[in-house]
Structures are given as structure tokens and as C-alpha cells.
Amino acid sequence: MGLFGRSEAGDRWIVVGLGNPGPKYERTRHNAGVMVLRELLERTGRTLKNHKSGAAIAECEISGEKVVLARLSSYMNESGRPLGALCKFFKTPAERLIVVHDELDVPFGDVRIKLGGGTAGHNGVKSVAQHLGTKDFIRVRVGVSRPRGQGDAIDYVLNEFTGTERKELPGIISTAADAVEAILADGPERAMNTINTRPQ
């Protein structure tokens, strides 16, 4: 039995930080979502424990809401499989799922909340949508910008942030964690008005 014991179906939020497993990918752009998850774990004082869904989770309370923080054991392009199993286990509907991920189409340093919509070619988001059977979940997009010139996007996101970027990264990760907390406190629409219009 979890932290909250037995409760009504679908009363928990799930917040997942997308990324690839293993130390090789730990500090890459594609793991920005995992970095935000780590920040949320530090803020709540929780640690992850393995779950039968194929995710490691921590149950906590944020802004008065019951929340399951999750990191997936799968690679990015298979994110939907364990996340779908986790949502099914907790009976969490898509509208109470927050997916935190890197985003090429958002400038580096910016954080954007998005409700549903397309996947913008992001394999992790695409996998989640396929396994859930819907795109109507909440996204917190951490901007990493596109590579300059004709650089390959896959190589770019699988590389680490530059030294200059790393100096700014803690503040960006903190803002993304703030975005998650704002969604839980005020709802996604009001959180968008706060986060998406924040001076950059």
C-alpha cells in the first residue's frame, strides 16, 4: 500500500520526467525532463522506489494534491509502455498526467506548458500518446533550441549541454519544477498564463 493508502480511482496526479536510463545519458539535453524530476524529488524530500509498472516512483503531496513522481526504466522511444502501465495501475486519466520533456522548438532557457496537441517529432511524447491512445495530456516543455546550421537533431539532444548552457541550467530546471507546482496548485490554464508569459 502506498503513502496515501487506498483512495478513489484517478485521484492522483502522475508527473513523469522523460529521458534515457544510465549514466551515459544522465547529463544530455534529452534528459532535461529527468533533471526536473530530480529537482521535484529534492523539494519533496522523497526517493524513488521500483514499481511493477517498469517505473521508479515516489508518492508525495504537492500543493495539496496527491502526486506520483515517476522515472521510467525504458529508453525514450519506449516511454509509453511503462507510463501506460503506471497510469492504468493508479487509474490516472490523461488530464492528470504531466509529462516533462526537452523541446527543440522552444528556445533554450524558456519553459512552456502545453495542453495536448502534436508531438513535434519527440519520440518520447509520441510513444506516450500511442500507448495512452490520446494526446490530451499536459506537457512541461524545457527548451533546448535546435542545433545550429545543418546539425543532426538526434546527435544534438543526445549530447550534453555546453559549458555556457550548464551555467544557466539550474535556473531553467527550477523554473520547470515551478511550472509543475503551478499546474498542481492552480490548474494548467492558469499555470500557462503565469509560466508561458514569464519574462525571459
Q: Which residues are 14's β-sheet partners?
A: 68, 97
- CB of 139 closer than 8 Å to CB of 114: yes
Model-level pTM greater than 0.85?
yes
What integer pLDDT is reported at residue 148 of this predicted model?
83
Tell me the three cell numbers of residue 169: 541550467
Q: Which residue has the cell 551555467?
A: 167
Structural domain spans, the chain: 13-195
- CB of 63 closer than 8 Å to CB of 184: yes
Residue ranges in the chain whose pLDDT is less than 50: 1-7
Type of residue found at 154: I
Give the tens place of pLDDT for each residue, 41-84: 999 999 999 999 999 999 999 999 999 999 999 999 999 999 99
> Phi and psi at residue 26, in whole multiples of 5°?
-55, -40
What integer pLDDT is reported at residue 10 of this predicted model?
72
Q: Which of 9, 13, 40 shows the shortest CA–CA distance to 138?
A: 13
**Element of type H or E holding 179:** helix 163-186
- CB of 151 closer than 8 Å to CB of 32: no
Active-site positions read 30
Domain 13-195: CATH architecture, name and number where available: 3-Layer(aba) Sandwich (3.40)
